[in-house]
């Protein structure tokens, strides 16, 4: 059944609104997957604040073009499921990659980050990165390491003096 023009315009408006201020987008081919599995994927994405949408590729191209994304690399023809994150750049790629490992008939097609088109391989590399929280934790640990070491060095001198005084005390007793 053909979709009327007014319905297409409404879908396009929804897509444009979802893509507004998006940090990253991942496109995947979902054909051959059960509805139960797709619902599971959507649930996992929703937990991370990622919006999912299934749409025709022509509507997705129009919405991306309006937001200034280079769409020359979009050569896929089938309807796709897209995950749009406005919070975390890595989360959609990570969740889709984990889902693809479990479901062999789902395939990551491409992605968009900072208005730049990413190939499936680049999305896979992005998925291999740790989450934003893990990276921030590592950064804080790296910044804190010299300070902790300095405190340990200062405490070491005090410990040495206490050990010497204890040794003198024990030798006199």
The confidence score (pLDDT) of residue 1 equals 53
Write out the E strands in the chain. 24-29, 50-55, 80-85, 107-113, 116-119
Kindly state which CATH superfamily the domain 5-129 is placed in.
Ribosomal protein L10, N-terminal RNA-binding domain (3.30.70.1730)
Q: What is the pLDDT of residues 114-125, one digit of tens each?
A: 888 888 899 999
**What does 116-156 look like in DSSP terms, one character per residue?**
EEEEHHHHHHHHTSPPHHHHHHHHHHHHHHHHHHHHHHHHH
The confidence score (pLDDT) of residue 83 equals 92
The confidence score (pLDDT) of residue 97 equals 92
Interstrand relation of 50-55 and 116-119 (parallel, antiparallel or unpaired): unpaired
Q: Which two tokens stand for residue 150?
A: 């300095």
Whether pLDDT at 51 is above 80: yes
Supply the mean pLDDT for the chain. 86
Q: What is the pLDDT of residues 131-141, one digit of tens each?
A: 778 888 988 98
Whether pLDDT at 113 is above 60: yes
Q: Which two tokens stand for residue 99?
A: 């889902």
Boundaries of every domain in the chain:
5-129, 131-173
Mean pLDDT of 85-92: 88
Mean pLDDT of 22-31: 89
Give CA angle at 142 (138, 145), nearest 5°: 130
Residue 94 CA from chain centroid, whole number: 5
């Amino acid at each position: 059944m053909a979709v009327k023009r007014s319905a297409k315009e409404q879908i396009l408006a929804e897509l444009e609104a979802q893509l507004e201020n998006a940090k990253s987008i991942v496109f995947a081919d979902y054909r051959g997957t059960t509805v139960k599995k797709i619902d599971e994927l959507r649930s996992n994405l929703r937990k991370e604040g990622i919006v999912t949408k299934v749409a025709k590729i022509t509507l997705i191209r129009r919405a991306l073009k309006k937001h200034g994304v280079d769409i020359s690399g979009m050569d896929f023809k089938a309807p796709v499921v897209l995950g749009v994150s406005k919070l975390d750049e890595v989360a959609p790629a990570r969740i889709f990659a984990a889902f693809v490992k479990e479901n062999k008939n789902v395939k990551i097609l491409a992605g968009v980050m900072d208005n730049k088109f990413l190939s499936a391989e680049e999305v896979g590399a992005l998925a291999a990165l740790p989450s934003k929280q893990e990276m921030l934790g590592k950064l804080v640990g790296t910044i804190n390491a010299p300070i902790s070491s300095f405190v340990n060095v200062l405490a070491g001198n005090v410990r040495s003096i206490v050990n010497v005084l204890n040794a003198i005390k024990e030798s006199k007793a």
